[in-house]
Structure 1
Amino acid sequence: MMELRKLDRDNLKQDNGLVAQRLVPWALLNAPFEGSWCVVRPGAESGAHGHHEYEIWVAMTGKAQIITAEGTTDFVAGDVVHFTPHEEHQVVNRGEEDFQFYSIWWDAELSGKFTARHQESR
């Protein structure tokens, strides 16, 4: 059964220096990860942070920079970056247009819950 989750661009919520909407999970979706659509407005930046989850960002539109302990790296539409647990990272938009990316994160607990729900549904 297909189910479509719509992005509500007019009602994105403030989240760590950017605006976002969590799109995954929802009741009928059994996924081993969670995810958010994120927009970094011109001149904005996320707070530098690290967390226990693995994370991937997929750059969708525009350009920004990622700052990590390794330095500053350009991040443009089509790029994908992976962060390991507890790796501090930050996204900065020094441009004049919105930068949009999709963030996906997971950990062993999310994976375990996915596996248990999958086994129950068989």
Structure 2
Amino acid sequence: MRVRKRDRANLSPAYGIEGERLLPWDALAAPFEGAWCVVRPGGESVAHEHHEHEIFIALAGRATLVVDGDAHEFAAGDIAHLPPGCTHRVVNDSAAEFEYYGIWWDTAMSERFITSQEAVR
């Protein structure tokens, strides 16, 4: 068992916000990748889309999740699924930081995971 701690010293800019890529992780073979993300008060991510499936898990604070032009309240404890091809961004219009964990995957990641597990057997 291994625990990997979040470390604010490792945050770096990406998509207009700050984050720490937590997967891939050398000690873990997984069919997905992920990042811990922090949106500062008044900040927002760059609107973007991609081919991967994605899940956002809100960890702390509240923000607005804008998906294909529709705004949705998004707060600690909430989970959102973002289908491939949707344009999305996170807007923090509160006075506190908003933190979430993003997890994404696609067919190629799944296939690499299956192949790696078959090689171990």
What's the TM-score, normalizing by structure 2? Answer: 0.96
2:8 corresponds to: 9
Aligned length: 121
1:31 corresponds to: 30
Q: Distance in 1 between matches of 2:68 and 2:46?
A: 14
Q: Which runs of 5 or more residues in structure 1 are unaligned? A: none
- Percent of pairs with identical residues: 46
Q: Distance in 1 between matches of 2:32 and 2:91?
A: 25
Alpha-carbon deviations, 1:15-41, whole Å to 9, x = none? Answer: 111100011111121100000000000
1:97 corresponds to: 96
Aligned-pair CA distance for 1:70? 5.2
1:22 corresponds to: 21
1:1-122 equivalences in 2 (<5 Å): 2-69=1-68, 71-122=70-121
Aligned-pair CA distance for 1:10? 2.1
SS in structure 1 of the partner of residue 56 of structure 2: strand
RMSD over aligned Cα atoms:
0.9
What's the TM-score, normalizing by structure 1? Answer: 0.95
Which ranges of 4 or more aligned residues in structure 1 deviate by more than 3 Å? Answer: none
- Against the structure 1 CA distance between its residues 3 and 120, is the aligned structure 2 distance closer, same or farther, given a 3 Å change threshold? same
SS in structure 2 of the partner of residue 81 of structure 1: strand
Q: Which runs of 5 or more residues in structure 2 are unaligned? A: none
